């Protein structure tokens, strides 16, 4: 906490007696430096002093304890790993934040994917949020916005976290009005992470008048133009790590300490050169080389030497190529279909495909290719793009010959001329769209394991569905029942909301793997 910073009123209260004051002292003892109260202002309670009934004082102390617990949860850092070069980044940002200014300030952080924009925004948020009347970190705005009801969820999160209220308004413009009314007088800290479209800013942080005096709105984006067109003038361009910090980050990953092993010091410097100061690449390559022998180090460097223009995706790909076959499959399934789902759920689905998901996912975590956040599996956008690119390269011209499809256009093309290679199809459109799909193409897809179709208007369903299906989610399925020949033996999850289904199937079916909470 900064010297002389404004502390909450809690510091003035007296805490000489009663159980809560003990609790308070315990909280402070266990969390040195994290509490937004001045510890010196608190007297240690006299152990011998008997707890008297102090009526109002007891009540108010109870409130203070609750307040501090709430603040404490705010101040617990959400990033706990070894960060490097963060102070120099924060120094520039702090100048833009300009604590003294009473206006509402919009601040942008821009730079390419993997440069550390989200990380620095998160650290800044953790450090300064206690200074505001309300705060909210809206993560992955681009991704959530593209999902069904995504805007609604983002607006709800904004309102509920800052004003502790759940909006009742149904349409987005009413919710914008509500946000304005509730936040107009509040000093707010809002982070909008990974914005890629002006519309997202209009819907979440439209005008300067939306927030109270002294508010700070921080927007991270890969696209500087989006920030410019929203009138954001204070823009921090996330810089690459300098050589010294880059080597430290790489060493944490490759050697689990802050400098390279002596015999690999020169090679480490070479590898760091290829990562070009990009934190994501340093993490991924460092993790890839962890515990590998000299020969593997040299061969990785040879490969990097051969990459034209040092395209970062190709550098990252070296890590993918070093995976075992099943780990590759798991990586691609996550990139093209499962990203964002709960870890247990992914494990169950992938295990049912025979992929030994526990071991495989652990290997991907160790190699920094995926991470677990709030029990969900997350993958950096650049790595997801790499996964999609790997699949695209399986057959650049003919989507029907690829293993996984995850864009509407590719599915349309693949259905014209599909082969039996397709293992997963993921189509989740933000708005309903009529599709002239040739449904007979499904009869060739004998390997299809994962299928999600959302917001696609079809006149009829398929006559065949693969018996390999583990996951079937088909919103507004157009037919009255599932194909008669479909056996469902392997099915683990089934979601058919808003479908035209009258009877799922005739007779009895034995579906041993289907989990209980599946909805129809």
Ligand X SMILES: Nc1ncnc2c1ncn2[C@@H]1O[C@H](COP(=O)(O)OP(=O)(O)O)[C@@H](O)[C@H]1O
The residue range among 186-194, 203-211, 248-256, 415-423 that interacts with Mg ion, by the rule CB under 5 A, is 186-194
> Does the protein bind Mg ion through residue 221 (CB under 5 A)?
no
Cα separation of 220 and 397, whole Å?
35
**CB neighbours of 273 closer than 8 A, spacing ≥ 6?**
none
Cα separation of 274 and 297, whole Å?
13
Rg for the chain (alpha carbons), in Å?
Answer: 27
Q: Which residues bind ligand X (CB under 6 A)?
A: 83-86, 111, 113-119, 249, 279-280, 283, 380
Q: Of the two residues 108 and 214, which places its CB atom closer to Mg ion in the complex?
A: 108
215: nearest Cα among 241, 191, 195: 191
Query: Beta strands 471-474 and 450-457: pairing type?
Result: parallel
Contacted entry of Mg ion, ligand X, none for residue 361, CB cut-off 5 to 8 Å set by kind: none
Contacted entry of ligand X, Mg ion, none for residue 279, CB cut-off 5 to 8 Å set by kind: ligand X
Cα separation of 148 and 334, whole Å?
20
Instruction: Name which of residues 243 to 282 contact Mg ion (CB under 5 A).
Output: none
Residue pair 423/444 in contact by the 8 Å Cβ criterion: no
**CB neighbours of 379 closer than 8 A, spacing ≥ 6?**
334, 335, 339, 369, 370, 371, 387
The closest residue (CB) to Mg ion is 118
Interaction mask 190-209, Mg ion, x per CB under 5 A? ----x---------------
Interaction mask 57-86, Mg ion, x per CB under 5 A? ------------------------------
What count of other Cβ atoms lies within 10 Å of the Cβ of residue 54? 13
Contacted entry of ligand X, Mg ion, none for residue 496, CB cut-off 5 to 8 Å set by kind: none
> Does the protein bind Mg ion through residue 118 (CB under 5 A)?
yes
Residue pair 368/284 in contact by the 8 Å Cβ criterion: yes
As given in the structure block, the two tokens for residue 94 are 């702090």
Interaction mask 123-162, Mg ion, x per CB under 5 A? ----------------------------------------
Residue 417: CB minimum distance to ligand X, A: 36
Residue 471: CB minimum distance to ligand X, A: 28
**CB neighbours of 398 closer than 8 A, spacing ≥ 6?**
413, 414, 417
Cα separation of 492 and 345, whole Å?
10
Q: Of the two residues 222 and 404, which places its CB atom closer to Mg ion in the complex?
A: 222
Q: Of the two residues 253 and 454, which places its CB atom closer to ligand X in the complex?
A: 253
Contacted entry of Mg ion, ligand X, none for residue 462, CB cut-off 5 to 8 Å set by kind: none
Residue 140: CB minimum distance to ligand X, A: 10
Residue 495 forms beta bridges with which residues? 473
Binding site for Mg ion (CB under 5 A): 118, 194
């Amino acid at each position: 906490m900064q010297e002389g910073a404004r502390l909450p009123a809690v510091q003035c209260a007296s805490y000489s007696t009663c159980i809560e004051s003990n609790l308070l002292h315990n909280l402070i003892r266990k969390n040195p430096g994290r509490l937004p109260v001045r510890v010196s202002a608190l007297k240690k309670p006299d152990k011998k002093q008997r707890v008297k009934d102090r009526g109002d004082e007891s009540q108010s102390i109870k409130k203070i304890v609750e307040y501090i617990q709430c603040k404490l949860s705010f101040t617990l850092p959400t990033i706990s790993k070894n960060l490097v070069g963060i102070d120099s980044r924060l120094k520039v940002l702090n100048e833009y934040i300009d604590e003294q200014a009473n206006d509402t300030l919009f601040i942008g952080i821009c730079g390419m994917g993997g440069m550390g924009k989200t990380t620095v925004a998160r650290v800044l948020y953790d450090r300064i949020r206690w200074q505001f009347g309300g705060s909210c970190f809206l993560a992955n705005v681009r991704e959530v916005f593209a999902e069904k009801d995504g805007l609604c969820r983002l607006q709800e999160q904004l309102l509920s976290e800052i004003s502790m209220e759940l909006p009742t308004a149904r349409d987005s413009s009413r919710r914008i009005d509500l946000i304005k009314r509730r936040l107009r007088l509040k000093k707010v800290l809002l982070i909008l992470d990974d914005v890629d479209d002006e519309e997202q800013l209009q819907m979440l942080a439209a005008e300067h008048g939306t927030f109270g005096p002294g508010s700070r709105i921080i927007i991270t984006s890969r696209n500087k133009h989006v920030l410019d067109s929203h009138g954001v003038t204070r823009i921090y361009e996330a810089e690459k790590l300098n050589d010294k910090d880059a080597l430290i980050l790489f060493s944490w990953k490759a050697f689990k300490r802050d400098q390279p092993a002596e015999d690999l010091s020169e090679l480490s410097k070479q590898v760091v050169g290829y990562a070009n100061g990009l934190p994501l690449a340093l993490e991924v390559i460092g993790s890839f080389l962890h515990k590998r022998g000299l020969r593997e180090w040299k061969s990785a460097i040879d490969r990097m030497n051969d990459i034209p223009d040092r395209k970062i995706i190709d550098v990252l790909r070296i890590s993918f190529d070093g995976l075992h076959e099943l780990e590759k499959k798991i990586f691609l399934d996550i990139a093209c279909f499962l990203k964002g789902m709960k870890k247990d759920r992914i494990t169950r689905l992938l295990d049912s495909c025979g992929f030994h998901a526990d071991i495989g996912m652990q290997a991907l975590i160790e190699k920094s290719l995926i991470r677990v956040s709030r029990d969900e599996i997350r993958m950096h956008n650049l790595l997801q793009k790499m996964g999609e690119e790997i699949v695209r390269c399986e057959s650049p011209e003919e989507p029907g010959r690829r293993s996984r499809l995850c864009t509407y256009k590719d599915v349309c093309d693949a259905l014209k001329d599909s082969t039996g290679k397709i293992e997963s199809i993921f189509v989740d459109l933000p708005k309903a769209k009529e599709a002239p799909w040739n449904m007979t193409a499904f009869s060739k897809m004998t390997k299809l394991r994962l299928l999600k179709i959302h917001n696609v208007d079809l006149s009829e369903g398929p006559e065949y569905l693969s018996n390999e299906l583990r996951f079937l989610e088909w919103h507004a399925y157009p037919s009255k029942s599932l194909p008669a020949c479909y056996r469902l033996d392997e099915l683990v999850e089934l979601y058919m909301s808003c479908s035209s289904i009258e009877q799922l199937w005739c007779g009895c079916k034995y579906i041993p793997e289907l989990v209980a909470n599946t909805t129809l």
